[in-house]
Amino acid sequence: MRIDIITVLPELLKSPFEASILKRAIDANLVAIHFHNLRDYTSNKYKSIDDTQFGGGAGMIMMVEPIDKCISKLKTERNYDDIIYMTPDGETLNQSIANHISTKENIIILCGHYKGVDQRVRDQFITREISIGDYVLSGGELGAAVLCDAIIRLIPGVLGNETSALTDSFQDNLLAPPIYTKPRDYKGWKVPKVLFSGNFPEIEKWREEQAYKRTKERRPDLLDE
Ligand code: ADE
């Protein structure tokens, strides 16, 4: 998978890709991330990428031209499956969207700033608009990092243990059950006995029950879906 990220703040986005699972995925050539600084696509001498809003109103708007130049250039180089705009008024990211996007070959992620982008960018280029939650961030970069993390870990081969993404919370619309490791007893705080019974059907049954119970208590909305 190839991800092209268009941003005015590439430095804000680099560190998540320089550590941990994301770095391993890049090093193993399972994913390639390319950053494009919008200021490199400006034609004015101040390299400005934003301007005031027609009709009046507070806040600056990201202009069409630099975004058009950047996306149009990328589109001459390869076909893109999706051109995603990170915005608080997009569809809220969930596991099913992450699963879907993780199967794509080439995607562009455009990070918004200030009040957002000129509507014509959305009308002409954007195929999908994603929010990471009902709150407003100061830019789309952190949202893009969240989206990339959620999709990259789903690419086959990225997680060491192939089954581990399948047992994550949300994969079957259930939250994950409680988990424990050694020791069995810490200060009298005990691990449920069933987990070291060696009876795997019983363990599986316990986990399913716990996952259901937890989902019912914390996220009953998931059970309705
Ligand atoms: N940009 C600003 N707020 C955002 C959000 N909640 N999700 C995605 N991108 C954003």
pLDDT by residue (tens digit) across 114-147? 889 999 999 999 999 999 999 999 999 999 999 9
Distance between CA atoms of residues 52 and 68, nearest Å: 18
Name the domain boundary from 122, 152, 182: 152
Q: Residue 170 — pLDDT band, cuts 50, 70, 90?
A: confident
Residue 164 lies in a domain: no
The average pLDDT across 56-83 equals 97
Q: Give nearest CA residue, ligand 1 atom 7.
A: 131
H or E segment and range at residue 98:
helix 95-101
Q: Which residues line ligand 1 (CB under 6 A)?
A: 86-88, 112, 131-133, 135-137, 140, 143
Residue 75 tokens read as 């589109």
Q: How many domains does the chain have?
A: 2
**pLDDT of res. 225:** 77
Check the CA dihedral 99-12-135-129 and report its sign: negative
Put simply, whether the predicted model's pTM sits higher than 0.85 gets the answer yes
What is the pLDDT confidence band of residue 168, given thresholds at 50, 70 and 90? confident
Assign 162 a pLDDT band (cuts: 50, 70, 90). Answer: low
Q: Do residues 139 and 178 both lie within one domain?
A: no
CA of 110 to the centre of ligand 1 (A): 11
Look up the domain containing 208 and give its range: 169-224
Is 58 part of any domain? yes
* Whole-number Cα distances in Å, 123 to 118, 126, 198: 9, 7, 57
